[in-house]
Amino acid sequence: MEITRICQWLSLLICVLLLLQTEGVPVGITFVENAVAKGAVCLDGSPPAYHFNKGSGAGINNWIVHFEGGGWCNNVTTCLSRRDTRLGSSKKMDTSLSFSGFFSNSKKFNPDFYDWNRIKVRYCDGSSFTGDVEAVDPKTNLHFRGARVFAVVVEDLLAKGMKNAQNAIISGCSAGGLASILNCDRFKSLLPATTKVKCLADAGFFINVKDVSGAQRIEEFYSQVVQTHGSAKNLPTSCTSRLRPGLCFFPQNVVSQISTPIFFVNAAYDSWQIKNILAPGAADPHGQWRECKLDIKNCSPNQLSVMQGFRTDFLRAFSVVGNGASKGHFIDGCYAHCQTGIQETWLRNDSPVVAKTVRN
Q: State the catalytic residues.
A: 174, 270, 337
3 state SS of 323: coil
Nearest to 186 by CA among 174, 159, 168: 168
Cα radius of gyration (the chain): 21
Nearest to 229 by CA among 316, 157, 299, 126: 126
85-114 burial string, b = 16+ CB within 10 Å, else e? ebbbbbbbbeeebbbbbbbbbbeebbeebb
DSSP code per residue over 202-227 = ES--------TTS--HHHHHHHHHHH
The Cβ of residue 258 has, within 10 Å, a number of other Cβ atoms equal to 20
Q: What are phi and psi of 173, to 5 degrees?
A: -120, 130
